[in-house]
Structure 1
Amino acid sequence: MTTTPTPEPAIRVQGITKSFADLYVLRGVTFDVKAGSIFALLGSNGSGKTTLVRILSTLLRADTGTASVHDFDIATQRGEVRESISLTGQFAAVDDILTGRENLVLIARLRHLKNPGTIADELLARFSLTEAGNRRAATYSGGMRRRLDIAMSLIGNPPVIFLDEPTTGLDPQARIEVWQTVRQLAQGGTTVLLTTQYLDEAEQLADRIAILHRGTIIQNGTLAELKQLLPSATVEYVEKQPSLEDVFLALVGDDDSDHTDNTGDSTTPTGKDPR
């Protein structure tokens, strides 16, 4: 009887520690991420999420421990790791002076890829930005800018992408657009490591969730497994009331996918905590 070998994790982290002077940020972090899955690293501000992402993307060296990304060691094969990943930070790294299409073409040329215009047009279509492709990025709404930022990070088809709090500061509708984009990435086979402080974001997107608290993974599992940690709920009949999200989406609808006016100003609420 033959057995199918278990595929290697796309990301493997073993006992990673990191401190800055007397401040211990990571204390023996360990987890694996299955290829083609969405893995959420959930934690409050200061829990060590961004530090860990910087280590895995070779921007920072761990004090102790080992890790591999796409089967490349982050300490000894830094160049290969960087060729295998893309990193999208908390703020969209787009050039406001350029159009959306020009931003994509620029990155494709910097990566020395053939047919940068074709690559840009394909990504604009993939992320529903074709109609806005020839507009300056400065006129984009928050959700459009984030989608463009993620599109730029996918040039060259990296198998692993790190999204560090990708919906910070976005309005509710823009958050949903980014969520749809992240789901599409995983459906296409891309491995996504997502850091977030939003409980609903991890619940909506992640195949597995690791809770990082004070530099340590205190729980790691599927949403169903994590829910089993609590006592069973008492079942009572309660009439379901619409949520604020239901009301908001019912009122604004989908008749303006860009949700910008001619001046580029957002027509959806801004400046609110999306939680």
Structure 2
Amino acid sequence: MNDKQKEAVIEVRDLVKQYADVTAVDHLSFEVYEGEIFGLLGPNGAGKTTTLSCIEGLVKANTGSIRVQGADPVSQPGRVKQEIGVQLQSTSLLPELSASEQIALFMELYGRKPQKDLVDALFAKVSLSEKADALPTSLSGGQQQRLALALALVNDPSIVILDEPTTGLDPQARYNTWQLIRELRDEGRTVIITTHYMEEAENLCDRIGIIDHGKMLALDTPAELVKSLDGLSRISTVTPLSVEEVAQLPGVHSAWQEQTRINVRCYDVPGVITKLHELASAQGMKVEGLTVHEPNLEELFLNLTGQRIRDDN
């Protein structure tokens, strides 16, 4: 089924959101299709959270339009509220209420009677049945995330929004969360995630939108996004050579300085490496710490935004 045959459950058209003199979202347009996992990637401050807040109806855009299952989040918040489930950050959990009490409270807020079988089913879905009576402070990070996901499902939403769902989790807890997200899609729900983990986006997402400065830079399946690099690899090295002279070498597509390293994009990796060594040797210099990065989603992200998805410093 091609994109034109799929049903868009979220439509964002020419969205603009400004805060004073800062444009957080800049004429952004995209669609999210029914039953897909859609990833929204961008550097910190790219406009991801603001965009999600507009979709959820928490923030009103300056101009543009949003439709969630045909409803306007601003003028029809009740309809949107019934369609969307949003995962809270673990710090938003109520510390004085047990897990089951929090589920019951959220059900009542959505006008649903917190029947025991419904509550038990939610805990079973997120593999947290044995912690139903526990306070959030006694739960591990992964268990808190699973409780937050259960809270996002109390209204049985058709669309689930997860903002950084695995941040701070150990590898096993992250894997368990991935499985839960896939199960949500397999049930026919639509899932939107933001993430700082590129392998998470590659493993989970059916399509990915990369945004920066509030603009959509690329949107496609992970495989097609990587293919758009057209086979360009990146060579990274430490050398006293100037980036200007490296950029002039035969076979170099582009070159730039990143702290103490020079990065080179090229097709012919062996040939360009040879040219680098020849140029450095002719000037009595060396090329050291050389690494080669094959085309992948991380490389595309770096190519489009000039930044890495995560700053580990």
Interval of TM-score (by shorter of Structure 1 and Structure 2): 0.7 to 0.9
Aligned to 1:12: 11
Local SS of the residue matching 1:72: coil
Distance 1:68 1:209 in 2: 19
After superposition, the Cα gap between the structure-2 partners of 1:73 and 1:155, relative to the gap in structure 1 and judged at 3 Å, is same
Displacement of 1:95: 2.1
Task: State yes or no: 1:195 paired with 2:194.
Answer: yes
Local SS of the residue matching 1:163: strand
> Between the two proteins, what is the percent identity of the paired residues?
38
Aligned to 1:173: 172
Aligned to 1:216: 215
Deviation track 1:37-69 (CA, whole Å, cap 9, x = no partner) reads 110000111001000011011111111111111
Provide structure 1 residue ranges, at least 5 long, that are not aligned to the other structure. Answer: 235-272
| Contact map agreement 1:37 1:191 (CA 8 A) in 2 | yes
Equivalent residue letter for 1:224: A
* TM-score (norm. length: structure 1): 0.79
Distance 1:68 1:96 in 2: 35
| Contact map agreement 1:163 1:193 (CA 8 A) in 2 | yes
After superposition, the Cα gap between the structure-2 partners of 1:78 and 1:102, relative to the gap in structure 1 and judged at 3 Å, is closer
Local SS of the residue matching 1:18: strand
After superposition, the Cα gap between the structure-2 partners of 1:52 and 1:208, relative to the gap in structure 1 and judged at 3 Å, is same
Displacement of 1:83: 2.0
* TM-score (norm. length: structure 2): 0.70
After superposition, the Cα gap between the structure-2 partners of 1:92 and 1:185, relative to the gap in structure 1 and judged at 3 Å, is farther
| Contact map agreement 1:160 1:190 (CA 8 A) in 2 | yes
How many aligned residue pairs are there? 235
Displacement of 1:7: 4.8
RMSD between aligned residues:
2.3
Distance 1:103 1:75 in 2: 27
Aligned to 1:88: 87
Task: State yes or no: 1:71 paired with 2:70.
Answer: yes
Give the number of the structure whose residues are more often strand, by fraction: 2
Distance 2:181 2:95 in 1: 23
Displacement of 1:74: 2.5
Aligned to 1:249: none
Distance 1:37 1:29 in 2: 20
1:95-110 map, 5 Å: 95-110=94-109
| Contact map agreement 1:108 1:119 (CA 8 A) in 2 | no
Provide structure 2 residue ranges, at least 5 long, that are not aligned to the other structure. Answer: 234-266, 268-310
Aligned to 2:130: 131
Aligned to 2:21: 22
Displacement of 1:203: 0.9
Task: State yes or no: 1:62 paired with 2:69.
Answer: no
Distance 1:8 1:231 in 2: 30
Aligned to 1:254: none
Aligned to 2:205: 206
Equivalent residue letter for 1:51: T
Give the number of the structure whose residues are more often helix, by fraction: 2
Distance 1:134 1:21 in 2: 46
